[in-house]
A and B are shown apart, each in its own frame.
Chain A
């Protein structure tokens, strides 16, 4: 193998790819080539580093210099200064909270990474996902070798059970127990499936894992196959993840070439192979029975359980289905022992959890934290707090099935039980931060619109009930609601939860219920005072010109698209609210703060 003196890691995750990282790689190769350095320095496209807000990200080793927001035109300087002359390009360094320390090189010292514990994401941003050798160099396929040569299937299941690993897809079902159910079934044909149909708005951990470390999923699925007695696996991944699909397919091909998939793996006589199935973008296909129907080639719709998939799943055979992140933990647990995993986290929630930080937060991106880390630590320390000096209002976890956690509960530990106790869920790990400018009724409506669109339409409560629920909430946000409507809303929420066929419907009202629980006063303000406290709900907004501040410059009147503002020059203007369409253009234009909305 060629020994190189320096490695340049360029993030090839979806975020950085969108901000032009492929061009950066091209530039690096060009500049290195120009200087005859191609043999000495290796440029690697990695998976996601997590700090997506600051992409594209480039790390230069051996120094470990962490460059952020790199543009293609910066590359020449990095090559010339850093690689050739050994002088770090300080203006591009990610400083974050390290400005004063002036260390600027060690990633792990930054607040963003300091509190993280990367198990599932261990290889993301570290290795080239399209190169199996790099995975192997980082202990890849060692767990599979250990399992196949030194452990019985029962021991594998016992290990997973002892680790306390629970499903990362939402419900948190103990993984070991799920595997044991399927292992118990006496059937020569069984299946191992991977749920990569990540659909929660704002969640992208499964995508990053598949893009950054696809081999860990393949390895884990082969381990699961051995544990339950299956010889075929399917990764169900959404077609909207082209990079993930491509890298997964490359990885499967490489694994077959290396004999990690296929027949007689490691000469042990164990056969296992994997195929990719693409989802066409239905959120409901993340539900296990719907996912299996979809793999079978039918309309993706859930069916009643029992029978559970472990007994009768894909093609009516015993099947296990785990989420991408769940699988990503498996090789680590085998390699490091269940105790090591179980030592992380809380009593009932072991290990780490990846969260996708989004919304009103400084460090948008992916973070992996030990279970039980508080919401405050995640938002204030790792996430860098709410930007623009705004006040934190609530955090939404668990996507459309989850709930909102108010500021008063910011010290809630992030684990399955604690989140459920405050009316939210862990879900797949979406974490959307909201500040004082967010209307909580409007937020609930946003998630409702999503689930109404994504309901499969099979069962009555979800198909009709969710639509009626949205209509009720819409009535409230448009100022036509009554206190009775709030009561009916709540009643309907519980009805849908208790009567829907599948998990989608059973959780779809959660955003409404949790905001009703924590922000009921906002609902009441909408129906009683006909006012939206956050100033979001358009129908309830009133734009008003403060006469004492208005100097009569007329710029608001000129920018108003509907001619709702009138007044003489140098005299206070007024807004005709019957004409006003509440577009906010006047307020934006006014330099004197004379226009307010309430």
Chain B
């Protein structure tokens, strides 16, 4: 790659010839503030907070999009640039409902940080008293308050460019511009899949998950309830970020300790039901492989993906695995097997799941998710962020906690369960089990590295006891779309496909800790968090789902065998085609 030399505040740096001023400054150790910019996804130069002085340009330029040139002199902190950024901030603040103290994003807000960094003491414009909340809360998982929206359009870009959905965009123009759905309809009237990626990229508190912590606190306070909690695979490698720990720190032991101190009666690991999923789904896969029906099998762990499939690719519904997701299997097992084992009335069991995901809030309410008729499998699904909030509320000093173990009944899991948290993990876990079942031989190498990594679409072929199995893995729904189009056209053929709604899989889920864009632009969260997942797997003695003693016991004492009638009743579900335009009566 050709490079050029530029000077940033007088210091010479060499940078790629196609770099932007922002990137060149970064190489020189200078962080130019940004609000709208998202690398490769939203380079629109709209917010103007990154204006910078460069030689050869008439006025200030937007550093996020302005290309460098040989010999360019960049002055990131000239008084002119500083004053301009300050005035732009003042203008943004003049149209932002500044209820910082009661805002979800207090102390984790990019706008608030800039206001502090730029020493804004007074906002000379606007009429703050006229700014009232503008709440849109039609969806189960999300709440939008446009009075805090600064129109950076990161949510729009992530929805359209990364997820290929595009149900939100700017409506009206000028000062009246606001982000909403077509014809200002509510989100529930669109084919939003609840992935929550928009929340994780919002710089302010305009987009937040619907908080369910009160429900959990109430259950914990209710003496008649036996409150169990289960944590999703990826939460252990992200929760630490909420307590200022480095990205990619595994805090499983502290997380368990914290949950116990919050007062949960049992602290369990959803990794166990991830293992259970592998047994059920692996069996299903082998059945389909034998019968040749409904191939490729497509995974159904990701509720954002499942909803996407129902809205946009209903023709692939028969290909979806009928297995419930690990969250739902966890709830189902709690209210059946575990209730029976412990002699507790399932009505009295309150199941909480800690998820990296906002679509899990939606999944909880899906049809055919009641192993015990009349009782939802899961009673509350909260995100990593909500758990962090509860830990803070309880005054628990997270970093000082000792490491503790999950309660054993649903606390022993395999490395295969852990890797569910990263893209390709479900596929790898399934391959570990299916290969050993089919060949009857122990795998020499457990790592299926071809399906690992952050690329959007991965493909591989494996020899399954003499039969060639073609697999594909997609994460991020625009990648899913591209992959499915290829399958539809016959251009590509697979036997099994893993799809995760969020790019990189659950480690980058819509319920994960929010990192500012200044970090996201230069640190690959997906890769760092996934590395912690694979490290955890590597260090485990137990790395194959079918060797998990808990799973063995479940089948031996309760479910008989994978794919049994009873297993189907408790662990499997159904899907439904959904309209692309749920709010409109159209002839389709």
Interface residue? B396 (CB, 8 A)? no
Chain B residues with CB below 8 A from A460, complex form: 46-49, 88, 91-92, 150-151
| Across-interface contacts of A498 in B (CB, < 8 A) | 59-60, 84
Among B48, B151, B169, the residue within 8 A (CB) of A461 is B48
Q: Which of A460-485 contact B (CB under 8 A)?
A: 460-461, 463-468, 471
From B171-179, B422-430, B564-572, the one touching the partner chain is B171-179
Tell me whether A452 and B84 are in contact (CB under 8 A): no
Q: Does B65 contact A (CB under 8 A)?
A: yes
Q: Is B124 an interface residue (CB 8 A)?
A: yes
Cβ–Cβ contact B175 & A463, under 8 A: yes
Asked if A282 and B175 sit within 8 Å, CB to CB, the answer is no
Range of interface residues on chain B? 20 to 34
Known A461-B91, A495-B84, A499-B88; judge A467-B174 contact (CB<8 A). yes
In the complex, A458 has a CB within 8 A of chain B: yes
Asked whether any CB of chain A lies closer than 8 Å to the CB of B19, the reply is no
Of all chain B residues, which has the CB nearest A307?
A: B67
Task: Say whether B174 contacts A501, CB under 8 Å.
Answer: no
Q: Which residues of A contact B45 (CB under 8 A)?
A: 303-304, 459, 501
Query: With A304-B62, A464-B95, A499-B84 as given contacts, are A282 and B46 in contact (CB-CB < 8 Å)?
Result: no
- Decide: B48 and A499 in contact? CB cutoff 8 A: yes
User: B175: which of A299, A467, A488, A500 is its contact (CB, 8 Å)?
Assistant: A467
B170 at the interface (CB under 8 A from A): yes
**Which B residues from 281 to 335 make CB contacts under 8 A with A?**
none
CB < 8 Å neighbour of B46 from A306, A458, A495? A458
Instruction: Report B-chain residues with C-beta under 8 Å of the C-beta of A495.
Output: 84, 87-88
Contacting A at CB under 8 A, from B153-183, are: 169-170, 172-177
The contact of B44 among A452, A458, A492, A500, by CB within 8 Å, is: A458
The residues of A that contact B87 with a CB separation of less than 8 Å are: 491-492, 495, 499
A residues 277-308 near B (Cβ < 8 Å) are 282, 284, 299, 303-304, 306
B549 interface hit (Cβ, 8 Å): no
Q: Verify if B246 is at the interface (C-beta below 8 Å from A).
A: no
A459 touches B47 (CB 8 A): yes
Interface check A454, CB cutoff 8 A:
yes
Q: Would you give the 0/1 interface string for B113-135, flagging 1 where the beta carbon is closer than 8 Å to chain A? A: 00000000000111000000000
Cβ of A209 < 8 Å from any Cβ of B?
no
Q: Do A304 and B175 touch (CB < 8 A)?
A: no
Verify A303–B176 contact, CB threshold 8 A.
Answer: no
Q: Is A436 part of the contact surface with B, judged by Cβ < 8 Å?
A: no
Q: Which of A299, A304, A464 contacts B94 (CB 8 A)?
A: A464
- Nearest chain B residue, comparing its CB with the CB of A491: B87
* B472 contacts chain A at the CB level, 8 A cutoff: no
Bound together, the chains give a CA A488 to CA B125 distance in angstroms of: 10
Complex interface: chain B residues within 8 A of A464 (CB) = 91-92, 94-95, 125, 175
Bound state CA distance, A62 and B44, in angstroms?
60
Q: How far is the CB of B63 from chain A (nearest CB, A)?
A: 11
The minimal Cβ–Cβ distance linking B25 to chain A, given in whole angstroms, is: 17
Q: Are B91 and A456 in contact (CB under 8 A)?
A: no
Do residues A457 and B169 form an inter-chain contact, with CB atoms below 8 A?
no
Given contacts A299-B169, A299-B170, contact A463 B177 (CB under 8 A): yes
Q: Are B172 and A457 in contact (CB under 8 A)?
A: yes
Instruction: Confirm or deny: A455 has a beta carbon within 8 angstroms of a beta carbon on chain B.
Output: yes
Cα A267 to Cα B108 with chains together (Å): 68
Once bound together, how far apart are the Cα atoms of A304 and B67, in whole Å? 11
Please report the C-alpha to C-alpha distance between residue A306 and residue B177 in the assembled complex, in whole angstroms.
Answer: 25
With CB as the reference atom, state the residue of chain A lying closest to B124. A488
The answer to whether A468 touches B65, judged by C-beta atoms less than 8 angstroms apart, is no
Least CB distance from B58 to A in Å reads 9
Contacting pair A457 B84 (CB below 8 A): no
Question: Which residues on A sit within 8 Å (CB–CB) of B67?
Answer: 306
Among B59, B125, B175, which residue has the most Cβ atoms of chain A within 10 A?
B175
Structural contact, B175 and A452, CB atoms closer than 8 A: yes
Contact partner of B125 (CB less than 8 A), chosen from A306, A459, A471, is A471
Q: Is B239 interfacial (CB-CB < 8 Å)?
A: no
A282–B67 Cα distance when bound, in Å, is: 30
Query: Chain B 420-447, CB within 8 Å of chain A: the 1/0 string?
Result: 0000000000000000000000000000
Contact of A455 among B48, B59, B60, B175 (CB under 8 A): B175
A347 at the interface (CB under 8 A from B): no
Interface membership of A453, Cβ < 8 A: yes
- Chain A residues within an 8 Å CB radius of B65: 304
Q: Knowing A304-B44, A501-B46 touch, does A457 contact B173 (C-beta < 8 A)? A: yes
Most chain B CB inside 10 Å of its own CB: which residue of A458, A468, A500 = A458
B47, closest chain A residue (CB): A460
Per-residue contact bits, chain B 49-92, to A (CB 8 Å; 1 contact, 0 not): 10100000001101001110000000000000000100110011
Give the contacting residue for A457; candidates B88, B94, B124, B174; CB below 8 A: B174
Given A465-B91, A471-B125 in contact, is the A459-B48 Cβ separation under 8 Å? yes
Complex Cα gap A594–B323 (Å) = 91
CB distance from A466 to the nearest CB of B (A): 8
CA distance in complex: A456, B173 (Å): 5
Interchain CA distance A303-B36 in the complex, whole Å = 13
Contact A468 B125 (CB under 8 A): yes
Q: Is the beta-carbon distance between A463 and B51 smaller than 8 angstroms? A: no
By a CB distance below 8 angstroms, the chain B residues around A463 are 151, 174-175, 177
Instruction: Write out the residue numbers on chain B whose beta carbons fall within 8 Å of the beta carbon of A467.
Output: 174-175
From B62, B65, B125, name the one whose CB has the most chain A CB atoms within 10 angstroms: B125
Convert B91-108 into 0s and 1s, putting 1 for each residue whose CB lies closer than 8 angstroms to a CB of A. 110110000000000000
Pairwise interchain contact B174-A499, C-beta atoms closer than 8 A: no
- Give B152's nearest chain A residue, CB to CB: A460
A499 proximity list for chain B (CB < 8 A) = 48, 51, 60, 84, 87-88
Min CB distance, A355 to chain B, in Å?
28
Q: Which residue of A lies closest to B51 (CB)?
A: A499
* Bound: A453/B172 CA distance, A: 10
Q: Which B-chain residue is minimally distant from A500 (CB atoms)?
A: B48
A282-B173 contact in complex given A468-B91, A498-B84, A499-B84, C-beta closer than 8 Å: yes
Residue of A nearest to B96 (CB): A464
Contacts of A457 in B (CB 8 A): 151, 170, 172-177
State the CA gap A498–B60 with chains docked (Å). 7
The one of A306, A461, A491 in contact with B88, judged by C-beta atoms closer than 8 angstroms, is A461
- Could you give, for residues 487-520 of chain A, a 1 whenever the CB lies within 8 Å of some chain B CB and a 0 otherwise? 0100110010011110000000000000000000
**How many whole Å from A292's CB to the nearest CB in chain B?**
15
Write the A560-588 contact mask toward B (1 if CB under 8 angstroms, else 0).
Answer: 00000000000000000000000000000
What residues on A are CB-neighbors of B62 within 8 Å? 304, 501
B489-503 interface code vs A (CB 8 A; 1 in, 0 out): 000000000000000
Residue from the set A306, A468, A491 with the largest chain B CB neighbour count within 10 Å: A468
Which B-chain residue is minimally distant from A465 (CB atoms)?
B91
| Complex: A463 Cα to B44 Cα, angstroms | 15
Residues of A with C-beta under 8 A to B84: 495, 498-499
Q: Once the chains are docked, how many angstroms separate the CA of A499 from the CA of B60?
A: 7
Residues from chain A with a CB closer than 8 A to the CB of B170 are: 299, 457-458
Can you list 24 A-B contacts with CB-CB less than 8 angstroms, sorted by A residue number? Answer: A306-B67, A452-B174, A454-B173, A456-B173, A456-B174, A457-B170, A457-B176, A457-B177, A458-B44, A459-B48, A460-B48, A460-B91, A461-B48, A461-B88, A463-B174, A464-B91, A465-B91, A467-B175, A468-B91, A498-B59, A498-B84, A499-B48, A499-B51, A499-B87
Q: Which 6 pairs of residues, A with B, have the shortest CB-CB distance?
A: A457-B177, A304-B45, A455-B174, A468-B125, A467-B175, A464-B91
Contacts A460-B46, A499-B60 given; 19 further ones with Cβ under 8 A? A282-B173, A299-B170, A304-B45, A304-B62, A454-B173, A457-B170, A457-B177, A460-B88, A460-B92, A464-B91, A464-B95, A468-B91, A468-B125, A495-B84, A495-B88, A498-B84, A499-B87, A501-B46, A501-B48
Give chain A's interface residues, CB within 8 Å of chain B.
282, 284, 299, 303-304, 306, 452-461, 463-468, 471, 488, 491-492, 495, 498-501
